[in-house]
């Protein structure tokens, strides 16, 4: 609708989620690293069993890796998920935890031996039970082919680009460096994404939230406030931020919750459609101004003539028929100018 186009026109900050938005969203398992006497196959089997109760992209990747090795899932129950942090399940009477390092530490899991994997640039998932971390599963997700061009073109338009993710700092920073993004938040809980958006919209600085709220700061130079913010995300964890943002943007393959929350859905599933949506908004407002100026100029010029202002000096007056014809021509000019947008934007993102 028109309100969405107006919001696009006012944006000055774009916040991206990482997984499934800037990346393809189909991570794959690259390494299974036991930290105890457990075998790599057993590590992957247990992890896949715990993940069988969820449909997160990382869960799907682990399940696919187990299936590729023909590993049979074990009987499990008591599945629990903590959004953006990890999952747990009971297997053979043992409570298994699978998630990020911070969450497992909060559950009392000891992490001796895992520090050598902190700077790999990969997403790390830890399996822990009986008070000890048992192993690490490393996953890698590739950037979307058009991610670099999208970020560059947004920055060229003068828009601030920020990356917010629940992944580890070094993983998020690696992606940000590849794309030329200088401001990132890592290890962010889903509810804190919305808080970051809210603080960008207000006269307060999200960079001061600190590690206690789940964010780690890479670049602390703060933009001007308040901001008109768009959030681009595709997952369940992004829904609160999509709702909080001035404009929520999602992709066609996003989760149902994200699709329902978003104001704009990119039906082509291409990030470059974000550029097209912005260009469409700018062109629409340019056409509106052109049409208003034309209509105003026409009425200022022709109405006095129709009223007889030239009759005393030049004996000129517009007949009702001629005045009606000129009015029709004015309307045709406005409509034709507006229809030129269809030629400029043959394919458009779905806007609702």
Domain boundaries, the chain: 2-24+142-276, 28-140, 279-351
The pLDDT value given to residue 221:
47
What pTM value is reported for the model? 0.77
Q: Options 3.40.1110.10, 3.40.50.720, 3.40.1450.10, 3.30.830.10; which CATH number does 28-140 get?
A: 3.40.1110.10
Active-site positions read 17
Q: Regarding the domain with residue range 2-24+142-276, which homologous superfamily does it belong to in the CATH classification?
A: HAD superfamily/HAD-like (3.40.50.1000)
Better-scored residue on pLDDT, 2 or 133: 133
Q: Which residue from 5, 17, 64 is spatially nearest to 232, judged by alpha carbons?
A: 17
Asked, as a colleague might, if the bond just before 226 is cis with ω within 30 of 0, I would say yes
Q: Calculate mean pLDDT across residues 197-209.
A: 71
Better-scored residue on pLDDT, 325 or 154: 154
Tens-place pLDDT, residues 153-170:
999 999 999 999 988 888
Tens-place pLDDT, residues 38-96:
999 999 999 999 999 888 888 999 999 999 999 999 999 999 988 778 999 999 889 99
Q: Report the side by side order of strands in the sheet with 183-185.
A: 183-185, 160-164, 13-16, 229-232, 247-251, 264-266, 350-351
Residues 6+ apart with CB under 8 A from 318: 302, 305, 306, 326
């Amino acid at each position: 609708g028109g309100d969405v186009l107006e919001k696009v026109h006012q944006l000055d900050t774009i916040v991206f989620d990482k997984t499934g938005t800037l990346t393809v969203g189909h991570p794959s398992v690259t390494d299974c690293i036991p930290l105890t006497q457990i075998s790599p196959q057993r590590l992957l089997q247990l992890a896949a069993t715990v993940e069988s109760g969820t449909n997160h992209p990382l869960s799907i990747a682990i399940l696919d890796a187990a299936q590729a090795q023909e590993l049979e899932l074990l009987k499990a129950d008591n599945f629990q998920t903590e959004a953006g942090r990890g999952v747990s399940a009971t297997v053979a009477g043992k409570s298994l935890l699978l998630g990020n390092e911070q969450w497992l530490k909060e559950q009392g899991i000891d992490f001796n031996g895992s520090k050598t994997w902190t700077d790999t640039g990969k997403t790390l998932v830890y399996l822990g039970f009986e008070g000890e971390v048992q192993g690490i599963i490393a996953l890698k997700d590739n950037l979307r082919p058009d991610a670099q061009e999208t970020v560059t073109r947004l920055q060229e338009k003068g828009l601030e680009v920020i990356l917010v993710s629940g992944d580890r700092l070094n993983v998020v920073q690696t992606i940000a460096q590849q794309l030329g993004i200088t401001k990132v938040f890592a290890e962010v809980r889903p509810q804190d994404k919305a808080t970051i958006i809210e603080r960008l919209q207000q006269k307060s600085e999200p960079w001061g939230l600190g590690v206690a709220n789940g964010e780690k700061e890479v670049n602390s130079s703060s933009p001007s406030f308040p901001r008109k913010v768009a959030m681009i995300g595709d997952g369940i964890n992004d829904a609160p931020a999509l709702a909080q943002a001035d404009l929520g943007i999602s992709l066609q393959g996003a989760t149902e919750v994200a699709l329902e929350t978003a104001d704009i859905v990119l039906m082509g599933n291409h990030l470059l459609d974000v550029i097209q949506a912005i260009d469409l908004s700018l062109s629409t407002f340019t056409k509106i101004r052109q049409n208003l100026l034309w209509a105003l100029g026409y009425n200022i010029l022709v109405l006095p003539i129709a009223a007889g202002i030239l009759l005393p000096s030049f004996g000129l007056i517009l007949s009702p028929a001629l005045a009606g014809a000129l009015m029709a021509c004015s309307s045709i000019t406005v409509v034709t100018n507006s229809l030129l947008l269809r030629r400029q934007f043959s394919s458009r993102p779905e806007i609702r």
